[in-house]
Amino acid sequence: MGAKQSKRNFKMSEIVHPTTNPSPMPSATHSSGGSSGANWKMSADGRIYHNVESSAYILPQDEEEQDRLNSQHFAAKALSNGNMLASVVEALPQEAKILDIGCGSGSWVMDVAIDNPCTHITGIDIADIFPAIIRPKNADFKLVNVLDGLPFPDATFDFVHMRLLIVAFRINEWDKVIDEIYRVLKPGGLIQLVESQYTDTEQSPKIHRFVSAHVLSLMADKHQDPLIGSKLEGKVIAHGFELMQKERIRIPFSNPQNAVYAELLWGWGNAMKALKQALAPRLCPDNESDYDQILNEYLKDCADFGWVVYIWSVAGRKPLTV
């Protein structure tokens, strides 16, 4: 029987308060330990970024980023009408063991744990910005760099979820990560991958300049794949999964009446603010203080000319006999 996504209210009895001290927020000198060996560095504008050589992830790891990730989670949930594709909801065991890779602030983990109290959900991330004190009692978090491998035995989980890590992995790392997902899934276990694609930039010269000439150029320099969303189906099949469902959602940012689209554009704008130290030398090398104005003009064009982004989702099942 599939796990049900209930609509009941959050209750204090459903959270746990660990007796251990919470992990400190990352600082310029904080080392989180664990397999990732994460070190932290602070930029000139006070944002905190990881300093892990094995990771190509370029967004910050601080409280401001937590806010953006929380916003992104609830907008993505509203956009997709839930946290899981319908095929996953139908097939998920009621007492499933679930893994969320790249859990960030932990919003997806917390949400799914509350809606599915008989499951147990583990969230992993390279940064310890997930909840340290208050969380559902059927959820836990671990500091893990997935590129070091998943620290779990074979056939541990019933469901593995991974979402919006397009700027976390290099092109040649996707296959390694999906191989690890396959390994830790039980026979018959489920995978759901969700990624964005923002390569359609012909709506205006400012959109094209900002995204194609600079954001996508930065990704190319870091050997990241801006088209990975459209390739998820092929990768899931190539790694031995049976395809269960695929979905592509088109997001036109021109509708000011759509609150979900507006929230997603706000989140994108904040992500671009966080990339100022990487993008400003490309966009305005002679005067990097012009970056904020260039960004604001670009975001205005996104709404005025209807910039389009796509969200790709795929679900697959590991065969019962392998």
Q: pLDDT in tens for each of the 322 residues of the chain? A: 444 333 323 232 333 333 333 333 333 233 333 333 346 666 657 788 877 777 888 888 888 888 999 999 999 999 999 999 999 999 999 999 999 999 999 999 999 999 999 999 999 999 888 887 888 999 999 999 999 999 999 999 999 999 999 999 999 999 999 999 999 999 999 999 999 999 999 999 999 999 998 999 999 999 999 999 999 999 999 999 999 999 999 999 886 668 899 999 999 999 999 999 899 999 999 999 999 999 999 999 999 999 999 999 999 999 998 6
Q: What is the C-alpha to C-alpha distance for residues 114 and 233, in angstroms, rounded to an integer? A: 29
Residue type at 170 in one-letter notation: R
Sign of CA dihedral 192, 175, 50, 140: positive
How much is the pTM? 0.86
Neighbouring residues of 166: CB distance < 8 A, sequence distance ≥ 6: 195, 196, 224, 225, 226, 228, 229
Going by DSSP bridges, is the β-strand pair 31-33/97-101 parallel, antiparallel, or unpaired? unpaired
State the burial class of residue 320 (Cβ atoms within 10 Å of its Cβ: 0-12, 13-18, 19+): exposed
DSSP label at residue 320: S
15 Cα distance to chain centroid? 24
Q: What is the C-alpha to C-alpha distance for residues 51 and 38, in angstroms, rounded to an integer? A: 7
